[in-house]
Amino acid sequence: MFSFTVDREISIELFQQHHKEELYDLIDSNRDHLRKWLLWVDKRRSPQDLEPIIPLWIRNYADNNGFDAGIRYQGKLVGMIGLHHIDWKSKSTSIGYLLSEDAQGKGIITRAVSSLLNYLFIEMDLNRVEIQCAINNKKSLGIPERLGFKKEGITREGQWLYDHYEDLVTYSMLKKDWVKS
Higher local confidence (pLDDT), 156 or 38: 156
Which runs of E-coded beta strand occur in the chain? 3-5, 10-14, 67-73, 76-83, 92-99, 128-134, 150-161, 164-174
Domain spanning 3-127 has what CATH number?
Answer: 3.40.630.30
CB proximity list for 116: less than 8 A, separation 6 or greater: 12, 81, 95
**pLDDT, tens digit (0-9, with 9 covering 90-100), for 4-37:** 899 999 999 999 999 999 999 999 999 999 998 8
pLDDT, one tens digit per residue, over 75-115 is 999 999 999 999 999 999 999 999 999 999 999 999 999 99
3-state secondary structure of 176: helix
DSSP line for 120-149: IIIIS---EEEEEEETT-HHHHHHHHHTTP
pLDDT in tens, 136-158: 999 999 999 999 999 999 999 99
For the chain, the structural domain boundaries read: 3-127
Q: How far apart are CA 61 and CA 68, in angstroms?
A: 8
The span from the CA of 3 to the CA of 18, in Å, is 15
